[in-house]
Amino acid sequence: MTEPDAKKAAAPKAGTASKAGAAPKRRRADAERNVSALLAAAKKVFDTSGVDAPAKQITDLAGLGVGTLYRHFPLRSDLVKAVVQSNIDACAAAGPRLAAAHEPADALAAWLRAYTELLGTKRGLASALHSGDPAYEALPGYFLDTLTPTLTALLDAGVAAGTVRDDIAAPDLIHAIANLCLAVPGADPDGPYGFAHSRRMVDLLIDGLRTG
- Give the one entry of DNA, its own copies, none that residue 127 binds, where binding means its C-beta sits below a cut-off of 5 to 8 angstroms depending on kind: its own copies
Does 146 participate in binding DNA (rule CB under 7 A)?
A: no
CA-based torsion, 161, 162, 165, 167: positive or negative: positive
Instruction: Scan residues 58-117 and list those touching DNA (CB under 7 A).
Output: 63-72, 74-76
Bridge partners (DSSP) of residue 164 are 210
Cα distance between residue 208 and residue 212, in whole Å: 10
Secondary structure letter of residue 134 according to DSSP = G
- Tell me whether residue 45 or residue 91 sits nearer to DNA (CB atom): 45
Question: At its nearest, how many Å lie between DNA and the CB of residue 83?
Answer: 14
103 part of the interface to its own copies, by CB under 8 A? no
Binding range to its own copies, per CB under 8 A, among 32-40, 92-100, 110-118, 124-132? 124-132
What is the distance between the alpha carbons of residues 72 and 66, in angstroms, rounded to a whole number?
A: 10
Q: Which does 129 bind (CB under 5 to 8 A by kind): DNA, its own copies, none?
A: its own copies
Compute, in degrees rounded to 10, the torsion defined by CA atoms 175, 178, 183, 189.
Answer: 170
Among positions 123, 165, 199, 210, the unique one binding its own copies when judged by CB under 8 A: 123
Q: Is 185 in the site for its own copies (CB under 8 A)?
A: yes
Q: Is the dihedral of CA 67, 31, 133, 41 positive or negative?
A: negative
Question: What is the C-alpha separation between 194 and 185, in angstroms, rounded?
Answer: 8
Which stretches of the chain bind DNA, using CB under 7 A? 1, 5, 9, 11-13, 26-31, 34, 52-56, 63-72, 74-76
